Chain A
Amino acid sequence: MRSLPNRPCAHALLPYLLAVCTLTTAPARAQEAPLPNPAIREAPALRFEHLSLEDGMAQGTGNSIMQDREGYLWIATQGGLHRYDGHTFKVYANTPFDTTSLSASWGWSATEAANGDFWVATEGGGLNHMDRATGTFTHYRHAPDDSTSLSSDRAFYALEDRRGDLWVATLTAGLNRMRAGEDGRFTHYRHDGDDPASLSSDVLFGITEDPGGDIWVSSANGLNRIDPETEAITRYLYDPSGNPGYRAPQNVISAWFPPDAPGVAWLATGNGLVRLHTDTGAYERFLLAPDRAPENLIHQVVPDPSAPGILWVAGPGPGLARFDIQAKTFTPYRHDPRDPHSLADNNVQSLLVDRSGTMWVGYANQGISAFNPGAVNFAHLRHDPDDPASLSPGNVWGVYEDQEGTLWVGTANGIRTWLTRFDAATGRVTRYTHDPSDPTTLLPGLYWAFAEDADGHLWTAGNGAGGLNRFDRATGRVTRFRPDGHRIGGVFALIPSRAHPGVLWVGHNRGLDRFDSATGRFTSLPMHPPDGGDDPVVLSLIEDPAGIVWAGTAGKGLARIDPTAGGGKEVVTWAADYDPHDTTSISDPRVQSIVMREKEPGILWLGTFNGGLNRFDTRTGKATHYLKEDGLADNVIYGILVDDAGTLWISTNGGISNFDPDTDTFRNYGLDDGLMALEYNQNAYGKGKDGTLYFGSGNGVTAFSPERLRTNTIPPQVALEDFKLFNESVAVGPDSPLKKPLADTDLITLRHDQNEITFDYVALHFANPAKNTYAYRLEGYDPDWVAAGTHRSATYTNLPPGDYTFRVKAANADGVWNEAGVSVGLVVTPPWWRTWWAYLGYALMLGGLVYGVDRTQRRRLRKKETERAQIREAEIRAEAQQKRREEAERLSEIGRAITSTLSIREIIDTVYENVNALMDAAVFGIGIYNEKRGRIDFPASKEQGETLRPFFYRVDDPDRFAAWCFNHRKEIIINDYETEYRQYVSRDLPPVEGGSPKSVLYLPLIHHDRVVGVITAQSFKQNAYTDYAVSILRTLATYAAIALDNAAAYRKLGNTVEELKTTQAQLVQSEKLASLGQLTAGIAHEIKNPLNFINNFAELNEELADEVVEVLEAGDTEEARAILDDLKVNAAQIAKHGKRADGIVRAMMQHARSSGGERETVDVNPFVEEYLNLAYHGQRARVPGFNADLVTDFAEDVGTAQMMPQEMGRVLINLLGNAFDAVYEYAASQNGQYAPKVTVATRRVGEAVEIRVADNGPGIPEDVKARIFEPFFTTKPTGSGTGLGLSLSHDIVTQGHGGMLAVESVPGEGAAFVVTVPG
């Protein structure tokens, strides 16, 4: 509810009040009645959430409700068995001609079997066994001619005991027992009037197995205990006179055995709740309405899920009631036609407490309802028009519990206002009101501000006739106090001063007064608000331990009043106000409520009218904000209370928020939790002595003890609901991937083409099912958990063959996770052509082929050998082969050695060494084709082991072997030089180096079909080279070619790297120049302005000097004096702007001078400010029309840091330039709906100094953020940025200063770069 207008409305109401109030008589206008305890006066409101036909139920009779091991709810109705998962109902009913459907739709109960199947007892259809996997039913019916069949088709309840025996209660024919392993064969237990050891009745209801294993069967005439071994029956509550009615006291409908109290059973009977002591048979009966018998019929009793000593009972008699075992009292909850969230109907059939702490009732025809039993911890006080001892009518505007524990509540119904007193000592309820004819009654108006003074007087005030009421608790008389001239209107805040006994601080519509309760004098404290206007409305007041008073105002923020600083005079200073440009200011200038926490001195918590909660630090003057997006229920705050644990309780427009500043967590309370309203009122809140918190609303007062409110800490059960292939549910079956129900399946095996799968899952936690949240993961596919929110399905398509595990976990609405969750294994098998046996087949086929070829070969060889019949030759051949093999191996090793070398000289050396070992190579050389110069270079040829100087042959030289070999791509093999050389060259030229050989080999070096050079070996002997030697050299030539190619590639790579290095250096330089350019533009602008002034004033002075001469000649000395004065002023201007320019130049010089390598002590704030100016003007010079809101937030204690000014300046220029670009470009895309802003902040963090440059631009996407400090990474169009700025800045900060450069960004909200350097 919105607050009342600040201006008093009493004068408008006054005629009304006069007319009405004269009807009451003075002075005892009070209507009195006893009140035991206001907090339990009214049964706590429970809020029932209803589910019925429109929610998907097939029929509305909730005969019984059961929760299975997976967490699903099962509701037996007259129209089928329902499964509920918190979202949807699944109905199992009888289908004509389907013998596997339920035998009758009218079900009384469903229970779970040991194997997870269900037993369903039906009216007229006997017993059903439901196969959980298939959802099909097997029927067990009564057959008149079969004595081992079920005794009746009117089966009410079936229980499978720990032995596996099944017990079935019928409504007409006693009990049936089907022993484990004897399917379909029932033994009967019946009532026999003459046999006291027989069953007490044939009309049976419930069956329970106690912790000791005995079976308890409740009947229309008492309770039976059966020993399953001896089959002995003991009766309890049996009435031999018989003829029991349904409301008879011996009609036992169900029993509950508390696990922690052996020997005790709680029975729901036709006449109340019974506690039975099973050892002795003694019992106590608790009646809900002793004088109204029909209201005592109950069907079920269950324990409260969290409160020990509390039971809940339900039945057609009372509806629902809460039973306190200790107090032996019932609190009934009945249908209230005015309240749609009350019990839907008093005819309740069944009751369940589920494992998530939610309770369920089933009605005779209104479906089912869920409620939160914890809501009883909210108690409510309401007006009851029929009860004069109830709260006065109307809206609650004030709540106060005084030192004696008496509760005072101010209400107003639009015509009249009241103050209701709930006296703690006498228990009386008294209503007080204004009587215009009696000055000892309350002043007219609302009563919402309360205080007690040191003398024990109660003071109250409110919106209305501005003044204070001093209330005498003994006589009920009021003494009224109003300031002279009635200058104040509504009083909003009233607090006694601890520092100044007898003083009350009064916050009112015209500001603040100090009230002396001893003399009755008001003293106005002028507040002098900074805007120069009138004193604001003071909405809230608090006095801190130091005696400082803090005043929250309507529209002007927070004022601080120091009552002692001014030598006895109060000094008002303004501590905080909303500043839209400063996010550390308070978030709203209207401060409705102020509290402090003992553990946080100096911190005020402010509740604002529309800016949420503020944590205000009185030492720094800065505020932190908590808004709806942080978890607060609503941004409109009316009141804040601090509980004994130090957490805050905040009344808002959206319920009550509980905020724990120590953990920074919110828990919001709404109607579901038991609140009577979502809107609690301004000023209507207070805390009692025992820690009880009170909040007033339009409906009354809500009271609660915070420590009794708990969040639901029960993690949800998670279930896999469905498994789908290609969006079709997979049924359980022998040929299906699901052999068993999904819940019992460990592994699902799929073919490779069954690869589009869906899992549906659900958290079976019913406190607030719509707010259960999920995360899932397919291990082997998802790298991490997928946060699914409230979505209850996961689909995967095109899963490759492999092993997977699907896991899902869930959290309840309070965020408590079931981390274990559920999982199922999944195997997608590979196609047949990729299985192991397929591979085996491939291997066998290949083996066969090889074998076949081999056989043919051998046959041929054998034939040859026989033909030659020369064993010796064969031996020689074997030897030769052996040698070849060895040489081949050696060659391959050489090859490895050669090709692993990248230096040409080493390649030549290595080849030479090996050639030399295998043949005569007095002269050896490798020529490398030099394409650029058209020649073959021999960089390191050998003669007799000596390395020759480098030489070359031109490729077009016709007289060189090397050129011939190269050009013809052919080998030259000369074993007799004199006779053979002419085949290749026309002239016998001497070698460039060394002597003339007799045998010469030249082989081309070919790699990838390209001649890369030649290799030569020469000997001074004739016939030096055999075919074998040639072949060896050929092999080595191949290796050499590869090695040379590698070397060439490597060299090329080396060049590329060098080029890159050079380019990078150039780019770094250009980036530096760019920042220099920005800097220079800034400096130029800075310096141009003072120069203009100097020029202008100098010119002016020239003119004035001429003028003064003229004036003096004219004899006007007065005018001359005036001109001279102007001259002087202008000279001063010249000097001033000269100094300004000088300062700029000096600063520039300073930066230029600092060599960059030296760190200096730099005063951080002026340094940052200077560069901000330079960057800003530089930007404006560079980008015409650039504009942005610049905000500086410099912490005063930052001090100095060790920095290289020039380098760090470059970093700042870069960061600021980026920020300016970001907001400028963003502004261009936002069509004027956006105010660009760049914030520069400094602060000291321990030893370090932090400089933060933040913009409100588009922010930085995650992928960009990860790479932002990489060199050459840029988001700007090609050519407009080097991509080096941030990388350089990063290097300067981290390597140059040993600091850190971090980036923070929220996409859509802006980015911030934070430089941290050691201080």
Chain B
Amino acid sequence: MKPNIKVLVVDDEHDVELLFRQRFRREIRKGEIELLFAFSGEEALSVLERQGKTDVVLVLSDINMPGMTGLELLCRIKAEPPPVPVCMMTAYGNDTYQRRAHECDCDGYLTKPIDFPALKDRIRSFADSHV
């Protein structure tokens, strides 16, 4: 993992922040990864705007959120350059969701409960390919 890569986690459940911070506590402590959180699709877009898209190597978004759904967020992010990898995470193993996500060029589709070791590998691979 390259130092200081940023991952934006989007979920309307606030406890997700605590969970992710603990799951990634070692990486955070070593300064390998920085986690950003947004609790709605709209907030995620403004975080991206503020941070600058190039700093964020990956967006992890829940699908089912009030207001802008994760799928809409995905499509919005993908609609404007530069491309930012986006992985969806959802409790629904729903084919339609998955198809729609891939239509919008989704970079990964994780089902909840999330397999964190696998997620970490994934982030590493995104970070490696991130220029």
Contact = CB atoms under 8 A, between A and B. Distances in A.
A1085 B65 CA distance: 12
A1144 to B, nearest CB: 14
Given A1133-B18, A1181-B92, A1185-B69, A1085 B23 contact: no
B51 interface: no
Given A1100-B22, A1100-B23, A1184 B96 contact: yes
A1097 interface: yes
Contacts of B92: 1085, 1181, 1184
B120 interface: no
B69 A1096 contact: no
Contacts of A1130: 22
Interface stretch (A185-193, A283-291, A1002-1010, A1087-1095): A1087-1095
Contacts of A1100: 19, 22-23
B81 interface: no
A1126 B22 contact: yes
Interface in B1-28: 13, 15, 18-19, 22-23, 25
Interface residues of B, number: 22
B129 interface: no
B69 A1092 contact: no
A1133 B15 contact: yes
B114 to A, nearest CB: 8
B45 to A, nearest CB: 16
A1092 B100 contact: no
A1187 interface: yes
Contacts of B112: 1088-1089, 1092
A897 interface: no
Contacts of B22: 1097, 1100, 1104, 1126, 1130
Interface in A1100-1121: 1100, 1104
Interface residues of A, number: 23
B91 A1096 contact: no
Nearest to A1126: B22
A1104 B19 CA distance: 13
Nearest to B65: A1187
Interface string A1118-1133: 0000000010011001
A1129 B15 CA distance: 11
Contacts of A1187: 67, 69, 72
B15 A1093 contact: yes
Given A1085-B64, A1085-B91, A1088-B112, A1093 B19 contact: yes
Contacts of A1104: 22
**B22, B23, B69 — which one has the most chain A CB atoms within 10 A of its CB?**
B22
A421 interface: no
A1137 interface: yes
A521 interface: no
Contacts of B19: 1093, 1096-1097, 1100, 1133
Contacts of A1093: 13, 15, 19
Given A1085-B64, A1085-B91, A1184 B18 contact: no
B71 interface: yes
A1097 B20 CA distance: 10
B97 interface: yes
Which of A1097, A1136, A1187: most chain B Cβ within 10 A? Answer: A1187
Contacts of A1096: 19, 23, 113-114
Nearest to A1137: B15
Interface in B46-92: 64, 66-67, 69, 71-72, 91-92
Contacts of A1126: 22, 25
Contacts of A1185: 69, 71, 96-97, 100
A905 B92 CA distance: 64
Interface string B89-112: 001101011001000000000001
A1180 interface: yes
Contact of B18 (A1085, A1129, A1181): A1129
A971 B97 CA distance: 77
Contact of A1184 (B13, B67, B72, B94): B94
Contacts of B72: 1187
Contacts of A1133: 15, 18-19
A1095 B113 contact: yes
A1104 B22 CA distance: 9
B64 A1088 contact: no
A1133 B23 CA distance: 14
Nearest to A1129: B18
Nearest to A1097: B19
Nearest to A1093: B15
Interface in A1060-1098: 1085, 1088-1089, 1092-1093, 1095-1097
Interface string A1150-1190: 00000000000000000000000000010011001101001
A296 B71 CA distance: 86
A1092 B64 contact: no
Nearest to B25: A1126
Contacts of A1092: 91, 112-114
Contacts of A1095: 113
Contacts of A1088: 91, 112
Contacts of B114: 1092, 1096
A1267 B13 CA distance: 43
Contacts of A1181: 92, 94
Contact of A1089 (B13, B66, B100): B13
A1130 B100 CA distance: 35
Nearest to B66: A1190
A1184 B97 contact: yes
Contacts of A1177: 64
A1092 B110 CA distance: 13
B71 to A, nearest CB: 6
A439 B72 CA distance: 65
A1095 B94 CA distance: 21
A1136 B13 CA distance: 13
A174 to B, nearest CB: 94
B15 A1184 contact: no
Nearest to B20: A1096
A1089 B96 CA distance: 20
Nearest to A1184: B96
Contacts of B69: 1185, 1187
A885 to B, nearest CB: 82
B78 to A, nearest CB: 16
Nearest to A1094: B113
B123 to A, nearest CB: 17
A1092 B69 CA distance: 20
A1129 B72 CA distance: 34
A1228 to B, nearest CB: 14
A1097 B16 CA distance: 10
Nearest to A1189: B67
Contacts of B67: 1187
A708 B46 CA distance: 61
A563 B75 CA distance: 53
A1180 B18 contact: no
Interface string A527-550: 000000000000000000000000
19 contacts: A1085-B64, A1085-B92, A1089-B91, A1089-B112, A1092-B114, A1095-B113, A1096-B113, A1100-B22, A1100-B23, A1104-B22, A1133-B15, A1137-B15, A1181-B92, A1184-B94, A1184-B96, A1184-B97, A1185-B69, A1185-B97, A1185-B100
Interface of A: 1085, 1088-1089, 1092-1093, 1095-1097, 1100, 1104, 1126, 1129-1130, 1133, 1136-1137, 1177, 1180-1181, 1184-1185, 1187, 1190
Given A1093-B19, A1187-B67, 20 more contacts: A1085-B64, A1085-B92, A1089-B112, A1092-B112, A1092-B113, A1093-B13, A1100-B19, A1100-B23, A1104-B22, A1129-B18, A1130-B22, A1133-B19, A1136-B15, A1181-B92, A1181-B94, A1184-B96, A1184-B100, A1185-B71, A1185-B100, A1187-B69
- Ranked 3 nearest A-B pairs via Cβ: A1184-B96, A1092-B113, A1088-B91
